[in-house]
C-alpha cells in the first residue's frame, strides 16, 4: 500500500519528530518544503534558480512554485512507498493543489494526523530553546538544561513575542486545513501533550486501522 500522510498542528507540537519516526517505521520519504527548496537550489535546477532569490530575501515562495517543486520531488524513487508531508500544505489552496497533484498520480492522502497542543505549552516549548554558540547544540531551559558556563543565544523567532505571533499566523492561515481535511474524512486528532512515544503509538495504531 502506498501511504501518504500530512502532519498538521501548531508550531512546537512535535510534527517534525513524529514525521521522522513515521517515515522510518513505514519506509516513507519525509518531505518538508524547506528541505525540498534547499535541494533544488543545491542542484542548480531551473526551479532552484527561481526559488533561491526568494529564500535569500526572506520572502514566501508562491504556491505555484511550491507545488511544482513538490511535483518534482514526488517523482523521485524514494517516494514510491509513500511520503510524510511535514510543513506542507500550509493553506487550503496548497491542500487543494496537492490533492489534484496526487489524483494525477493515482494516489490520495490516507491520513492527516493533527497534533493538538495548547498555546501556553507551545510558548513554553519554543521560548525555552537556546543554542550554544560554540557547539551549535540546542538546549531547553526546562526540559534539557544546558551545562554551566555554556555561551547561549536565542533565535529571534524562538522569543516569546515571536512565538505568539507564529501561533496567530498558524490560526489564520493553517488551521482552516483542519476543517478541509475533516470534510474529506481523513483527519484524526492526537493529544500532543502526551509523551513522544505515546503520540507515535496512537498515530501508528490509526495507520494500522486504515
Q: How far apart are CA 173 and CA 171, in angstroms?
A: 6
Which one of the listed residues 166, 172, 173, 184 is annotated catalytic? 166
133: annotated active-site residue:
no
- φ/ψ region of 198 (left if φ > 0, alpha if ψ in -120 to 50, else beta) reads alpha
Clarify whether 166 is annotated catalytic.
yes
Query: How many residues comprise the chain?
Result: 210
Q: Which residues pair with 131 in a beta bridge?
A: 138, 153
The residue written with cell numbers 555561551 in the block is 151
State how far Cα 28 lies from the chain centre.
15
From 24, 49, 133, 155, the catalytic residue: 155
Task: Choose the catalytic residue: 15, 38, 43, 172.
Answer: 15
Is 129 catalytic? The answer is yes
Task: Indicate the helix (H) or strand (E) that contains 129.
Answer: strand 129-132
Q: Are 29 and 208 in contact (CB under 8 A)?
A: no
When computed from its CA atoms, the radius of gyration of the chain, rounded to whole angstroms, is 18
Q: What sign has the CA pseudo-torsion 153, 140, 24, 204? A: negative
Task: Say which residues have a Cβ less than 8 Å from residue 116's Cβ, sequence separation at least 6.
Answer: 9, 13, 189, 190, 191, 192, 193
- Catalytic annotation present for 173: no
User: For 102, what's the count of Cα atoms within 13 Å in the CB-facing half-sphere?
Assistant: 21
Q: Taking Cα atoms as reference points, which of 183, 65, 184, 163 lies closest to residue 117?
A: 163
Q: Which of 90, 133, 142, 184 is flagged as catalytic?
A: 90
Active-site residue, 49 included = no
Annotated active-site positions, please?
15, 90, 129, 155, 166
Amino acid at each position: 500500500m502506498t501511504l501518504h500522510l500530512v502532519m498538521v498542528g501548531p508550531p512546537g507540537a512535535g510534527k517534525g519528530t513524529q514525521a521522522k519516526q513515521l517515515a522510518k517505521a513505514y519506509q516513507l520519504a519525509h518531505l518538508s518544503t524547506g528541505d525540498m527548496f534547499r535541494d533544488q537550489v543545491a542542484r542548480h535546477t531551473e526551479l532552484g534558480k527561481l526559488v533561491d532569490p526568494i529564500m535569500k530575501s526572506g520572502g514566501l515562495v508562491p504556491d505555484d512554485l511550491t507545488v511544482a517543486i513538490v511535483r518534482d520531488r514526488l517523482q523521485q524513487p524514494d517516494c514510491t512507498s509513500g511520503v510524510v508531508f511535514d510543513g506542507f500544505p500550509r493553506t487550503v489552496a496548497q491542500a487543494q493543489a496537492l490533492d489534484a497533484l496526487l489524483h494525477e498520480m493515482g494516489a490520495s492522502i490516507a491520513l492527516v494526523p493533527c497534533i493538538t497542543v495548547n498555546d501556553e505549552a507551545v510558548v513554553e516549548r519554543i521560548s525555552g530553546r537556546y543554542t550554544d554558540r560554540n557547539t551549535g547544540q540546542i538546549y531547553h531551559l526546562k526540559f534539557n538544561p544546558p551545562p554551566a558556563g555554556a555561551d547561549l543565544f536565542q533565535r529571534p523567532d524562538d522569543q516569546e513575542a515571536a512565538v505568539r505571533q507564529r501561533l496567530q499566523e498558524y490560526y489564520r492561515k493553517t488551521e482552516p486545513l483542519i476543517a478541509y481535511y475533516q470534510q474529506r474524512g481523513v483527519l484524526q486528532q492526537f493529544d500532543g501533550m502526551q509523551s513522544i512515544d505515546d503520540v507515535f503509538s496512537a498515530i501508528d495504531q490509526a495507520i494500522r486501522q486504515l
